[in-house]
Amino acid sequence: MIILSLSTGFHDNSAVVADDYRILSAIQRERITRIKTDGGFQPEGSLMPKTVAEALRIAGARPSDIGQVLISRGALPAECFRWHPLRRLRDAVRARLFGKKKKSLLSSQMVKRQTTDISRFFRSDVFLRMHGLPENIPLADYNHHRAHALSALFFTDWENALIYTADGGGDSSFYSAWHYKDGELQKLFGDYGELLSHSAFSAQSVGLVYAAMTEALGFKRNRHEGKLTGLAAYGSPSVYEDIARHFSVSGEGAVETTFRSEKEMERRIAKIGKSVKPEDAAASVQKFLEETILSALTAHLKKTGAETIGLAGGVFSNVALNRRAAELPGVREIFVFPGMGDEGIAVGGVYDFLLRRDGCEKWRSQRRRLHNVLWGGEFDAEVAELFSRRAKKIAKKENAPRAAAQKIAEGKVVAIYCGRMEFGPRALGARSILANPADADINRVLNERLRRTEFMPFAPYVLAEDAGEVFDMSPAIRYAANFMTVTCPVREQWREKIPAVTHVDGTARPQIIGGDSFAVYAEVLREFKALTGLPVLINTSFNAHEEPIVYKPEECLRALNDKRVDFVLLAEGLFAAE
């Protein structure tokens, strides 16, 4: 069965097409609209149908092929709901007067109407028509945190695992904990909207605390939290206690707070943040995040006896936190789903539906480890044709990796644009910028060219056979490190050799590569190692500041012509600007 799954929240929307258990395509809406972290529903001139159309195109599927549509319980236009006639009239008048149409959260409507049966109040035919889909396709909803959890669990082979989710909020909840053992999934903790109450208290969310500090320090919430993670290494957690005194973790692993409202929390965090140097505020909120989540994980590990941890939700984009989770006593392995933000729940929604449809035994038999997330569009033929007309080829296909490695060794910046695009927030070798890790000044140069203001060093990538030599990488993080979701120490003898990828605290965020998924990407690194003796290269995402990663060939060419990069490596060769 062809399944179309949509994330429909306020940010990081996505569309996923699956053939039962096999993901055929997955794409974030921001890649289409070119609006970073794009979300929310726009009923008129909507670009959401374009995201759906692109996901279907990539999958080689037609609307008529779809056997099931899945949606998250996010923000949807009022037309999709059955209202009292007076409510419809009021909304129509407001739309005419103010030019805006009303939206409503599907999860909130469940609470208000005291039912999880959306067929009683949700007009699936209207929703499907808005997306250009046949109106008779079955439509079902999925829960936010359960979808996060299943995205992390499905791509493991563990039989005794703790699955934990944390984010800024979804379906009236901010956390969930699950125990998977011997083919059975048990909910340990969390209100998933199925209790039909707004019992979850937003000020409890460590994700929202981190977002409030991000905003207090002059950055954008839901976008720049990673800057605080990097900045934290430069500071001292001098006001950690001022934050932590308002929170506790119960013996059951529940995060509790003394704040009475989210606004009160935000005011207090802003005051704390502005009372010290930005790096000290960042260090303090980073320590608060780590200690709180680790306390919750410890409580659940003790309760379950699990030796493995699956993580998902926006909080786990924090790579320093993930490393500490892997260091908890008795933890054998962790895995962070690469689409850990709200884009990833569309993937989890697929596996939630299949678990409910097929039962645990069949679902369990389909589980597998994840080798890559190359689920986006592939434009090798189109980009080759465009560059043949409007760029200059300086190396043929067979010589291109070596030529690219030579240019990088000389201090040039090379972008790679090959094959299918990655899903999730990280560039993992299909839409990446590569540079020399030995050049300590390359961080400044790249940040200037890409108009970025970063505190973290650029991430390195390394072949699987060299990973242990360069990085102090425990077995617990090797799987997660395939997707650049965790930090680890750089070995002492390598820190001065690769300063561009070594943070001030001596750590890096490596990506381990192996297998056939990244052939050109891996070959450039092998050639660079042969030329320089260095077994790592810089990998940073192929985008400028505040822009999504490049998607279409025209965006790739524009970056070359705008001198963001010196060369572009395609499947057909190495190119320079005309």
Reported as a single tens digit per residue, the pLDDT across 185-215 is 999 987 554 545 545 568 899 999 999 999 9
Task: Summarize the confidence of residues 538-558 as an average pLDDT.
Answer: 94
Tell me which architecture the domain covering 2-142 has in CATH: 2-Layer Sandwich (3.30)
Which tens digits make up the pLDDT trace of 401-432? 999 999 999 999 999 999 999 999 999 999 99
The position carrying tokens 């320089």 is: 532
The position carrying tokens 């490393």 is: 323
How many other CB atoms are there within 10 angstroms of residue 499's CB atom?
18
Task: Summarize the confidence of residues 16-29 as an average pLDDT.
Answer: 98
Q: Alpha helix locations (H) across 60-195?
A: 85-98, 106-113, 124-130, 144-154
Please give the DSSP secondary-structure letter assigned to residue 367.
-
Which tens digits make up the pLDDT trace of 117-152? 999 999 999 999 988 899 999 999 999 999 999 999
Position 272, amino acid: I
How high is the mean pLDDT of the chain?
Answer: 92
How many other CB atoms are there within 10 angstroms of residue 345's CB atom?
40
Q: Which residues contact 492 (CB under 8 A, 6 or more apart)?
A: none
**Would the pLDDT of 331 be above 90?**
yes
CA–CA gap between residue 552 and residue 253 (Å, rounded): 45
β-pair type (66-72, 139-142):
parallel
CA–CA gap between residue 205 and residue 281 (Å, rounded): 18
Local confidence band at 88 (pLDDT 50, 70, 90 cut-offs)? low
Phi-psi region of 135 (alpha: psi -120 to 50; beta: other; left: phi over 0): alpha
CA–CA gap between residue 527 and residue 398 (Å, rounded): 13
CA–CA gap between residue 5 and residue 422 (Å, rounded): 18
The hierarchical CATH code for the domain 152-337 is 3.30.420.40
The position carrying tokens 């972290």 is: 37
**Would the pLDDT of 84 be above 70?**
no
Which tens digits make up the pLDDT trace of 270-290? 999 999 999 999 999 999 999
Domain ranges for the chain = 2-142, 152-337, 380-577
- Decide: 397 and 571 in contact? Cβ < 8 Å: yes
Q: 2-142 and 152-337 share one CATH topology?
A: yes
pLDDT at 41 (0 to 100): 67
pLDDT at 571 (0 to 100): 95
pTM of the entire predicted model: 0.95
Is the C-alpha dihedral spanning 575, 516, 529, 506 positive or negative?
positive
Bridge partners of residue 2, in order along the sequence: 19, 66
Which tens digits make up the pLDDT trace of 373-406? 999 999 999 999 999 999 999 999 999 999 999 9
β-pair type (308-312, 507-508):
unpaired
H/E run at residue 355: helix 345-358
- Decide: 25 and 355 in contact? Cβ < 8 Å: no
Position 207, amino acid: G
Across 190-295, the runs of DSSP E, i.e. the strands, are 247-249, 255-257
**Would the pLDDT of 166 be above 50?**
yes
Residue 465 buriedness (CB in 10 A; 0-12 / 13-18 / 19+): exposed
pLDDT at 114 (0 to 100): 86
Local confidence band at 44 (pLDDT 50, 70, 90 cut-offs)? very low
pLDDT at 191 (0 to 100): 53
Token couple for 41: 């529903």
CA–CA gap between residue 384 and residue 210 (Å, rounded): 43
Position 238, amino acid: S
Task: Summarize the confidence of residues 50-68 as an average pLDDT.
Answer: 96
At the top level of CATH, the class of 380-577 is: alpha beta
**Would the pLDDT of 293 be above 80?**
yes
CA–CA gap between residue 491 and residue 468 (Å, rounded): 9
pLDDT at 97 (0 to 100): 62
The position carrying tokens 């009239």 is: 89
Token couple for 201: 């208290």
- Decide: 436 and 500 in contact? Cβ < 8 Å: yes
H/E run at residue 511: strand 511-513
